Structure 1
Amino acid sequence: MIVRPYGDTTGDGMVQLSFTLPVPHDKRAEGAALQLAAKMGMDPAMLVHAKPMGGGFTFFVVYGRVGHLVDTDTVQVVERDFPLLSAKEVNAAVKRGLRRRLSVVGACIGTDAHTVGIDAILNVKGIAGQKGLEYYRELAVTNLGAQVSVPDLVEAARAAKADAVLVSQVVTQRDAHLHNTREMAAAFREALPRGKRPLLIVGGPRFDETMAAELGVDRIFGRGTTPAEVASYLVHALIGRQP
């Protein structure tokens, strides 16, 4: 299906764009913002907001029409290919399939100190009314917290005999989340033989979920992921595929 942006009326192609330019706020800066919007295909472009950010930066909001169309049939996304299970169903599947507790190790690696994401998935309090993985009695969860080095993560996973390693990455400056993920995947490949490696799962708001193979991990979860989705995937990947 072919669609175009909607602003004031159906199919009018109107979009809103926000950005910052490294220039102090004045008339010339506003003109520069409109020039950028025009080069991005907005015609006409209207400057609806400009605010100094201090230190020679200005934040802009521009509104205007674009002529681009979107073909929804060609959009590539990672669809959930496993059933969403309740905590009771997850516990039953693990107990039946593994006959032991499923070991999960989680952390924020590198210099990333933002534990909100990993805590939302792992901690009992969870997120959005859902309990975290610590709530599941058949899951043994080790939360290493923030700024964990890759060697320490590998060693912790080995010590816990981890079935799965969950890594959250929020810091994305200079693609730090991508570099850290590749480093982690390479470290596990080097440290453990195939078949002994835990399932590698990463999550964060700036990941492209289609890049799992490229980054060397088994699964990528994006923004809005819930503990139930992660728990259900663990069952699917570690138990559901067993003969």
Structure 2
Amino acid sequence: MTSAPQAPQASSQGNVIRPYGDTTGDGMVQMSFTLPLPHDKLAEGAALQLARKMGLDPAMLVHAKPMGPDFTFFVVYGSTTHLVNLDDVHVVEREYPLLSAKDANLAIRKQLRRKLVVVGACIGTDAHTVGIDAILNIKGFAGEKGLEYYREIRVVNLGAQVLVPDLVARARAEKADAVLVSQVVTQKDAHIHNTTQMSAAFREAYPAGQVPVLIVGGPRFEDGSESTLGVDRIFGRGTTPGEVASYLVHEIGLRKGKK
């Protein structure tokens, strides 16, 4: 029988915590990975060696399964030697209020005196439209209706595998205020390459200060990397249409205030 977890306690080293597994502060964690080895004793020994080098000591191999003839999938459980100091954890806080659809519509009408135009797409070879559809389509996500539901937003959803030049051309033709790009495929950092290519293309095609609001979303983007990617905002997993709409109202308002 395991004991219930307790809230982290401050220490002389700061607000330091360890993972919880069987008892509070035991540091127990579970991780999974694949090694390019056939499943045998050598592969299991290699998995345990890797786990120890990653700070699990002792490490226990709790699952191993062949993934074809040349690969093995492992699950390892053990106590980590590393600590987490919460004082050193930095997160990106939302700097704008969440608005209802009614309030967002009123703000857009007041700021623009016309509909806000949003163009969305999955670019490159990415064919996963679930994310972009969850934000744009009227059916929405997590109980919230998508941007198509907003009376003062006009949505142009280009779908999947859209080439960057075509996205830029359509955004110009639609006089887009914002461009939303979803990137789910992340192998070999495809999401990074596609996004930087997209942002560079928009800055080349538009005069300075007239580039639409560039937003990207996907499960593997790093918080705070907007400036590196050349975009205005990154949204991760679990983002709702209301969050995106509220950000658009916030950003459009800031841009109007600077003119």
TM-score range, shorter chain: over 0.9
Alpha-carbon separation, structure 2, partners of 1:112 and 1:55:
29
Alpha-carbon separation, structure 2, partners of 1:98 and 1:82:
19
Q: Is 1:169 matched with 2:183?
A: yes
Name the residue aligned to 1:154: 168
Structure 1 residue 67: Cα displacement: 1.5
Unaligned 5+ segments in structure 1 are none
- Helix, strand or coil at the partner of 1:7: coil
Name the residue aligned to 2:12: none
With normalisation by structure 2, the TM-score equals 0.92
Q: Is 1:140 matched with 2:145?
A: no
Q: Is 1:226 matched with 2:251?
A: no
Name the residue aligned to 1:215: 229
Structure 1 residue 23: Cα displacement: 1.1
Name the residue aligned to 2:116: 102
Structure 1 residue 73: Cα displacement: 1.8
Q: Cα deviation per residue 1:201-236 (whole Å; 9 max; x = unaligned)?
A: 000000002100011000001111000000000000
Structure 1 residue 191: Cα displacement: 0.4
Alpha-carbon separation, structure 2, partners of 1:3 and 1:210:
24
The amino acid of 1:169's aligned partner reads Q
- Helix, strand or coil at the partner of 1:119: helix
Name the residue aligned to 1:5: 19
Name the residue aligned to 1:130: 144
- Helix, strand or coil at the partner of 1:111: coil
Q: Cα deviation per residue 1:7-57 (whole Å; 9 max; x = unaligned)?
A: 111111111010011111111111111011011111000000111111311
Among 103, 122, 139, which residue is 1:89 paired with?
Answer: 103
Alpha-carbon separation, structure 1, partners of 2:213 and 2:83:
39
Alpha-carbon separation, structure 1, partners of 2:75 and 2:144:
36
The amino acid of 2:220's aligned partner reads R
- Helix, strand or coil at the partner of 1:91: helix
The amino acid of 1:113's aligned partner reads A
Name the residue aligned to 1:180: 194
Unaligned 5+ segments in structure 2 are 1-14
Alpha-carbon separation, structure 2, partners of 1:168 and 1:241:
23
The amino acid of 1:163's aligned partner reads D
Name the residue aligned to 1:62: 76
The number of equivalent residue pairs is 243
The amino acid of 1:115's aligned partner reads T
Name the residue aligned to 1:239: 253
Alpha-carbon separation, structure 2, partners of 1:37 and 1:225:
33
Alpha-carbon separation, structure 1, partners of 2:163 and 2:54:
40
The amino acid of 2:97's aligned partner reads P
Name the residue aligned to 2:9: none
Matches within 5 A, 1:17-28: 17-28=31-42
Alpha-carbon separation, structure 2, partners of 1:40 and 1:67:
9
With normalisation by structure 1, the TM-score equals 0.98
Q: Is 1:51 matched with 2:30?
A: no
Structure 1 residue 241: Cα displacement: 5.6
Alpha-carbon separation, structure 2, partners of 1:40 and 1:209:
24
